[in-house]
């Protein structure tokens, strides 16, 4: 079996632990390789490399850094089919979504390469004569990037591309469920000419590798995507480093009585069961007007019961496996809870045999305070909550700790705008599902979904840079602000 290595200071090397772990294809339980069980010592070496390469990389003009990013885009495009199949094999999502994952990586690298000729600051008037004021963007320094498994090329790319274009140097830890996707991404960066030491990769446990990446005194910035508990741990242990957190969601689709129910059905199936429900933006609640609930449920059930489970590489598969055994157990635990809290319409079973498969599951007549309507399950499990009007729908939608994505289906423009105004989420859709972000818009959430930062678009540049304010006084005399003579 192939043994993969860590990447430190431009070299692929073994961990000082001399230990490895395996990554599995979740559809077959077959191992796809051995990976270094990294430790704190490896992280320290990676940070040393990042420190030594910082001056040269941050001094490189941003348009020159962009040339390397454009080459990354070219190589990602050239390798899209191979990488898409790898995403499907290591993470489980169906191939068209695996290819979509890689396309998102291509899109964000392309967007951030363009930033090499912008990285805009701004100018603004001074309160004094003969004085010029402006801002510029500067790199943060060494940044730690810690990513989950559900978008194993896209999420690393969302962090690597802005971090690089802003002139930071990097230590990156992919999830232990998808280390090979992380490694293949770094191989592309290496081939594109990212200088040694600028990007370093360590595989291994969050509790040791991840923790050291957070508390190391030379790290200035941390960008983390993952679950809320880990995010809270990071915030507590990061001291005064700049921290970006992208955490969980419990995303609602509101369905009004004037909605096109066929359109809603397609959006709900895509949002709830696409990626086997393992998207932070997955639609896990349908909040529906009671007058159309039964008609909608009939429509939905017919199609959900036809969904085919299987290996994501098979073209007939609609829904792939969950990521691992723990995810199957968690989803099933919520099925037991759901049976006490609502009415099971379909699913609710573990699929016997190889791989981590779970039947698409729907509960109806769920109260908005039920655990299955409030807690993130991160599996193919949907709760339907009936409501009487839009005000109640918005109240139910907001009755959660998270605030990532939300959607409404209605043909009434007033409903749509009221929803946009009052729903508590970082992303909102009208007549479309809760998933489908585009890389030039900010991505992130409010409330328990994060700490206020956003990824992608111009906000991604803000996460990975510092703003410097500059005052140039050309009056030739001491001028004092705030009216002091
Ligand atoms: P996770 O928090 O278990 O793991 C994420 C990463 O953190 C992994 O690399 C892991 O090894 C590392 N880690 C774990 N413990 C750590 C510690 N103590 N210190 C430092 N690093 C540590 O999350 P997951 O199960 O991989 O991902 C699923 C979660 O991610 C879901 O909650 C989902 O909603 C969320 N997610 C959020 C977004 C978003 O943008 N808001 C996007 C995708 C996924």
pLDDT digits (tens, 9 = 90+) for 4-50: 999 999 999 999 999 999 999 999 999 999 999 999 999 999 999 99
What tens digit of pLDDT does each residue of 293-319 get? 999 999 999 999 999 999 999 999 999
Q: Whose Cα sits closest to atom 14 in ligand 1?
A: 206
Q: What is the rounded CA–CA span in Å between residue 435 and residue 433?
A: 6
* Atom number in ligand 1 closest to CA 226: 30
Using the mean position of ligand 1's atoms as its centre, give its distance from the Cα of residue 206 in Å.
9
Summarize the confidence of residues 111-129 as an average pLDDT.
Answer: 98
Using the mean position of ligand 1's atoms as its centre, give its distance from the Cα of residue 149 in Å.
8
The pick from 226, 249, 277 for probing ligand 1's pocket by mutation, whose C-beta has the most ligand atoms within 8 angstroms, reads: 226
* Atom number in ligand 1 closest to CA 249: 34
The average confidence (pLDDT) of the chain is 98
What tens digit of pLDDT does each residue of 153-212 get? 999 999 999 999 999 999 999 999 999 999 999 999 999 999 999 999 999 999 999 999
* Atom number in ligand 1 closest to CA 450: 41
Q: Whose Cα sits closest to atom 26 in ligand 1?
A: 148
**Joined tokens for residue 339:** 């049976």
Q: How confident is the model at residue 343 (pLDDT cuts 50, 70, 90)?
A: very high
In this prediction the pTM is 0.97
Pocket of ligand 1 (CB under 6 A): 146-150, 173, 175-176, 206-207, 210-211, 214, 225-227, 230, 233-234, 246-249, 280, 376, 378, 404, 449
On whether the CB atoms of residues 434 and 271 are closer than 8 A, the answer is yes
Q: What is the rounded CA–CA span in Å between residue 387 and residue 261?
A: 16
Using the mean position of ligand 1's atoms as its centre, give its distance from the Cα of residue 288 in Å.
31
pLDDT at 217 over 90: yes
Q: Which domains does the chain have, with CATH numbers?
A: 6-247+450-470 (3.40.605.10), 251-430 (3.40.309.10)
Count Cβ atoms below 10 Å from residue 329 Cβ, excluding itself. 15
Residue (of 360, 274, 277) closest to 98 by Cα position: 274
CB within 8 Å of 150: residues ≥ 6 apart: 91, 275, 278, 279, 280, 323
* Atom number in ligand 1 closest to CA 173: 9
Q: How confident is the model at residue 146 (pLDDT cuts 50, 70, 90)?
A: very high
* Atom number in ligand 1 closest to CA 449: 41
Classify burial at 340, counting beta carbons within 10 Å of its beta carbon; exposed 0-12, middle 13-18, buried 19 or more: exposed
Using the mean position of ligand 1's atoms as its centre, give its distance from the Cα of residue 227 in Å.
4
pLDDT at 357: 98
Summarize the confidence of residues 454-476 as an average pLDDT.
Answer: 98
Using the mean position of ligand 1's atoms as its centre, give its distance from the Cα of residue 47 in Å.
21
Q: Whose Cα sits closest to atom 10 in ligand 1?
A: 206
Summarize the confidence of residues 135-139 as an average pLDDT.
Answer: 98
CB within 8 Å of 118: residues ≥ 6 apart: none
Using the mean position of ligand 1's atoms as its centre, give its distance from the Cα of residue 276 in Å.
17
Query: How distant is the alpha carbon of residue 117 from its chain centre?
Result: 26
Residue (of 299, 293, 283) closest to 408 by Cα position: 283
Q: Whose Cα sits closest to atom 18 in ligand 1?
A: 207
On whether the CB atoms of residues 221 and 242 are closer than 8 A, the answer is yes
pLDDT at 276: 98
**Joined tokens for residue 282:** 């997955």
pLDDT at 274: 97
Q: Whose Cα sits closest to atom 28 in ligand 1?
A: 226
CA-based R_g, the chain, Å:
24
Residue (of 378, 408, 430) closest to 286 by Cα position: 408
* Atom number in ligand 1 closest to CA 213: 20
CB within 8 Å of 256: residues ≥ 6 apart: 289, 390, 393, 408, 409, 410, 412, 415
What tens digit of pLDDT does each residue of 241-291 get? 999 999 999 999 999 999 999 999 999 999 999 999 999 999 999 999 999
Q: What is the rounded CA–CA span in Å between residue 398 and residue 422?
A: 9
**Joined tokens for residue 467:** 């703003």
Q: Whose Cα sits closest to atom 17 in ligand 1?
A: 206
Using the mean position of ligand 1's atoms as its centre, give its distance from the Cα of residue 132 in Å.
44
With left for phi above 0 and alpha for psi between -120 and 50, is residue 92 left, alpha or beta? Answer: left
The pick from 179, 185, 207, 227 for probing ligand 1's pocket by mutation, whose C-beta has the most ligand atoms within 8 angstroms, reads: 227
Euclidean distance between the first and the last CA atom of the chain, given in angstroms as a whole number: 76
Per-residue HEC secondary structure of the chain comes to: CCECCEEECCEEECCCCCCEEEEECCCCCCEEEEEECCCHHHHHHHHHHHHHHHHHHHHCCHHHHHHHHHHHHHHHHHCHHHHHHHHHHHHCCCHHHHHHHHHHHHHHHHHHHHHCCCCCCCEEECCCCCEEEEEEEEECCEEEEECCCCCCCHHHHHHHHHHHHCCCEEEEECCCCCHHHHHHHHHHHHHHCCCCCCEEECCCCHHHHHHHHHHCCCEEEEEEECCHHHHHHHHHHCCCCEEEEECCCCEEEEECCCCCHHHHHHHHHHHHHHHHHCCCCCEEEEEEEHHHHHHHHHHHHHHHCCCCECCCCCCCCCECCCCCHHHHHHHHHHHHHHHHHCEEEECCCECCCCCCCECCEEEECCCCCCHHHCCCCCCCEEEEEEECCHHHHHHHHCCCCCCCEEEEECCCHHHHHHHHHHCCCCEEEECCCCCCCCCCCCECCCHHHECCCCECHHHHHHHCEEEEEEEEECCCCCCCCCCCC
Using the mean position of ligand 1's atoms as its centre, give its distance from the Cα of residue 62 in Å.
30
* Atom number in ligand 1 closest to CA 211: 19
pLDDT at 485: 86
Q: Whose Cα sits closest to atom 11 in ligand 1?
A: 206
Catalytic residues: 246, 280
The pick from 148, 219, 250, 322 for probing ligand 1's pocket by mutation, whose C-beta has the most ligand atoms within 8 angstroms, reads: 148
């Amino acid at each position: 079996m192939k043994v993969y290595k860590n990447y430190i200071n431009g070299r692929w090397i073994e961990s000082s632990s001399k230990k490895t772990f395996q990554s599995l294809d979740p559809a077959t339980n077959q191992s796809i390789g051995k990976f270094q069980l990294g430790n704190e010592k490896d992280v320290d070496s990676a940070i040393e490399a990042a420190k030594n390469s910082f001056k040269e990389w941050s001094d490189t003009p941003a348009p020159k850094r962009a040339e390397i990013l454009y080459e990354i885009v070219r190589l990602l495009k050239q390798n899209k089919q191979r990488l898409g199949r790898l995403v499907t094999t290591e993470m489980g999502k169906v191939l068209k979504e695996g290819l979509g994952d890689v396309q998102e990586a291509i899109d964000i690298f392309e967007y951030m390469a363009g930033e090499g000729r912008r990285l805009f600051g701004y100018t603004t008037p001074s309160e004094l004569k003969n004085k010029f004021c402006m801002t510029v963007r500067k790199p943060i320094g060494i940044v730690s990037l810690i990513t989950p498994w559900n978008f194993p090329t896209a999420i690393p790319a969302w962090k690597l591309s802005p971090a690089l274009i802003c002139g930071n140097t990097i230590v990156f830890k992919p999830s232990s469920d998808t280390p090979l996707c992380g490694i293949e991404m770094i191989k592309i960066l290496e081939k594109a000419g990212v200088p040694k030491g600028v990007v370093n990769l360590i595989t291994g446990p969050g509790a040791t590798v991840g923790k050291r990446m957070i508390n190391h005194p030379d790290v200035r910035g941390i960008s983390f995507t993952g679950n809320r508990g880990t995010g809270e741990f990071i915030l507590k242990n990061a001291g005064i480093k700049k921290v970006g957190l992208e955490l969980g969601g419990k995303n609602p689709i509101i369905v009004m009585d004037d909605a096109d129910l066929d359109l809603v059905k397609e959006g709900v199936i895509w949002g709830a069961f696409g990626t086997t429900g393992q998207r932070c933006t997955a639609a896990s609640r349908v909040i529906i007007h009671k007058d159309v609930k039964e008609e909608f449920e009939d429509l939905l059930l017919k199609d959900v019961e036809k969904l085919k489970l299987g290996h994501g590489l098979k073209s007939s598969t609609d829904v792939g496996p969950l990521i691992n055994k723990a995810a199957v157990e968690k989803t099933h635990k919520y099925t037991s809870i759901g049976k006490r809290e609502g009415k099971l319409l379909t699913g609710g079973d573990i699929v016997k045999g190889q791989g981590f498969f779970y039947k698409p599951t729907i509960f109806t007549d769920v109260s908005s305070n039920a655990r299955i309507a409030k807690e993130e399950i991160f599996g193919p499990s949907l709760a339907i909550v009936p409501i009487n009007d839009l005000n109640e729908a918005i109240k139910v939608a907001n009755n959660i700790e998270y605030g990532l994505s939300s959607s409404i289906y209605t043909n009434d423009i007033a409903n749509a705008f009221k929803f946009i105004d009052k729903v508590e989420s970082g992303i909102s859709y009208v007549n479309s599902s809760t998933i489908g972000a585009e890389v030039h818009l900010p991505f992130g959430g409010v409330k328990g979904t994060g700490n206020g930062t956003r990824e992608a678009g111009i906000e991604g540049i803000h996460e990975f840079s510092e703003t410097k304010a500059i005052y140039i006084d050309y009056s030739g005399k001491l001028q004092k602000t705030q009216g002091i003579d």
